Amino acid sequence: MNILLLGASPSRTSSSRALLADVGERLAGLGHHLSWLEVCDLPSQALLHADFHNADILAALAQVEEAEAVVIATPVYQASYTGILKVFLDILPQDGLKNKLVLPLAVGGSQSHMLAIDYALRPVLQALSAELVLPGIYATSAQLKGAGGQAYAVEAALATRLERGIARLHSESRRYYVDNKEFLHRTPSATAELALR
Ligand SMILES: Cc1cc2nc3c(=O)[nH]c(=O)nc-3n(C[C@H](O)[C@H](O)[C@H](O)COP(=O)(O)O)c2cc1C
């Protein structure tokens, strides 16, 4: 399956990015094809003005369109997902996540805002017509030792939730892209079935 890793932190030393890289590596190990998009790498003026003539913006939209699944990793900002992620989701077409599986990941400074995935992000993903938004995975920066230049390491309880989330995405990808022929014909890449074998 073609999976887009969508990073939504403005930070250069991002713990959510380290988490996304880890999840991507594990998905690659299961045979999935990955592409990566960091919202903060897009040209800011073009993004803010929704400039659909800008080549980088068009390429980013094409990356989303070509993906069969999207793993989104956002830091928690003001009890929600980041502003740059909102700006990017705003330029997607109304059904920009149609036929796609989505796995949301969020990293917050504390456990207090663990509902940010379900209260803030999930409704937007559903409104963009995602086929299936998987249960989100919330981490605190303390559970990831990657921030501030320390070596990346995942706390045991989080590691278990990550393994479950990745296994679920993998099994759903088989359910949709191997077992469900009707669904397969609606997807960006009808060759996705082959990619899983
Ligand atoms: C502007 C800003 C707002 C934040 N707001 C929250 C918040 O409301 N709740 C929370 O748990 N953490 C909050 N944090 C902490 C970040 O979510 C946390 O540091 C996270 O690990 C950052 O992810 P990153 O390293 O990928 O950028 C905030 C951080 C910043 C910079």
Kindly give the distance from the C-alpha atom of residue 149 to the centroid of ligand 1, in angstroms, as a whole number: 16
Specify the pLDDT at position 189. Answer: 58
Q: Is the pLDDT of residue 68 over 80?
A: yes
Q: Is the pLDDT of residue 29 over 80?
A: yes
Kindly give the distance from the C-alpha atom of residue 4 to the centroid of ligand 1, in angstroms, as a whole number: 23
Kindly give the distance from the C-alpha atom of residue 61 to the centroid of ligand 1, in angstroms, as a whole number: 26
10-19, 100-109, 177-186: least confident range: 177-186
Ramachandran assignment for 149, one of left (phi > 0), alpha (psi -120 to 50 degrees), beta (any other): left
What is the best residue among 6, 22, 76, 141 to mutate for testing ligand 1's pocket, by most ligand atoms within 8 Å of CB? 76
Residue appearing with tokens 């059904």: 95
Provide residues with CB under 6 Å of ligand 1.
9, 11, 14-17, 75-79, 107-110, 112-113, 141, 147
Specify the pLDDT at position 168. Answer: 98
Specify the pLDDT at position 185. Answer: 72
pLDDT over 90, % of the chain: 83
Specify the pLDDT at position 13. Answer: 86
What is the best residue among 77, 84, 145, 152 to mutate for testing ligand 1's pocket, by most ligand atoms within 8 Å of CB? 77
Does the 2-195 domain belong in CATH 3.40.30.10? no
What's the CA gap between 91 and 99, in Å, rounded?
A: 18
Q: Is the pLDDT of residue 161 over 50?
A: yes
| DSSP code string of 15-66 | HHHHHHHHHHHHHHHTT-EEEEEEGGGS-HHHHHTT-TT-HHHHHHHHHHHH
Q: Is the pLDDT of residue 176 over 60?
A: yes
Q: What is the pTM of this model?
A: 0.92
8-17, 68-77, 93-102, 179-188: least confident range: 179-188
Q: Is the pLDDT of residue 41 over 60?
A: yes
